[in-house]
Structure 1
């Protein structure tokens, strides 16, 4: 199984990148690529820019990574109740590629981590509502609140046993679905 683990952030110390990287280690017998958005930085989407210059190569490269995956792990930071600007811009550009949906119906585990009590639930709610219109096949969601208290940065693992078990159960369910699909 090929897993593309996407941190929806351009932060160099992204807690969502740490979460998605950790989640990817729980899957057995998987080929995993963990990416953040820094290599996919493009001009802010503008219709006139698209008409003049076309779709940037970075958007096409991002879409190709999605298309090569069997499973998407996406962890989104919450910025003012929704996606980070870096993520939204990549999402917007990829959505403009002719004859494709952004997520291409590839099964996904959608996650968010945040330092506060809500754990990024605002961005998860926004994504759960929006992604299906763009080919999002959301199998599970997971939220990690109080990231600084519930994630051990030294060993790169969820330290809250209850939250760690919750994530592992969701991954177990996804792994079972993926095993059935492979047959």
Structure 2
């Protein structure tokens, strides 16, 4: 049985995007979901010097292999100053050094959340273009604004309208990978 790989583009141990990914992953019953906490993947800032001196870490190669074998991906990008975090960009840089088409044939549910009213929409737009560059296909995207007002760790998305939109996007993603 193939699986879905779910992760946030944040290396924070208190990432709200990881909490959104974890909730979303819990809704998928049709497939196994492997949830990855990226705070446990401390990739150094990409540099050709580091690559030449040290090569690729085992955790990077393992993560890339998980992506390769996944049927689909659930990714939530965090936003720093209207852009995806440096950590997310750095992870994409490292993965692309292993294989520039590391997302080939991968269907993606792309999400973002923030405490503000834009719901990290700037990071979401940029991440969608970035993932396409590596041959990934974003099936659906979802932005959750005002995280602290619209999300509860025990209940998930508590705004009825946003919850409905999110559920529809999850269903569409699951159909696309079936």
Normalised by the length of structure 1, the TM-score is 0.91
Question: C-alpha root-mean-square deviation of aligned residues, in Å?
Answer: 1.4
**Number of paired residues?**
177
Q: What CA distance in whole angstroms lies between the structure 2 residues aligned with 1:40 and 1:105?
A: 24
Where does residue 163 of structure 1 map in the other structure? Answer: 162
- Aligned residue number for residue 70 of structure 2: 69
1:12-161 alignment to 2 at 5 Å? 12-98=13-99, 100-153=100-153, 155-161=154-160
Return 5+ residue gaps in structure 1 as ranges.
none
* 1:10–1:38 Cα contact (<8 Å) kept: yes
CA displacement at 1:156 relative to structure 2: 4.3
- The alpha-carbon deviation at position 146 of structure 1 amounts to 0.2
* Structure 2 unaligned spans of 5+: none
Partners of 1:156 and 1:43 in 2: CA distance: 35
* 1: CA distance, partners of 2:95 / 2:155: 31
SS of alignment partner, residue 44 of structure 1: coil
Q: Are 1:4 and 2:5 counterparts? A: yes
Distance (Å, rounded) in 2 between the aligned partners of 1:131 and 1:78? 16
TM-score, normalised with respect to structure 2: 0.93
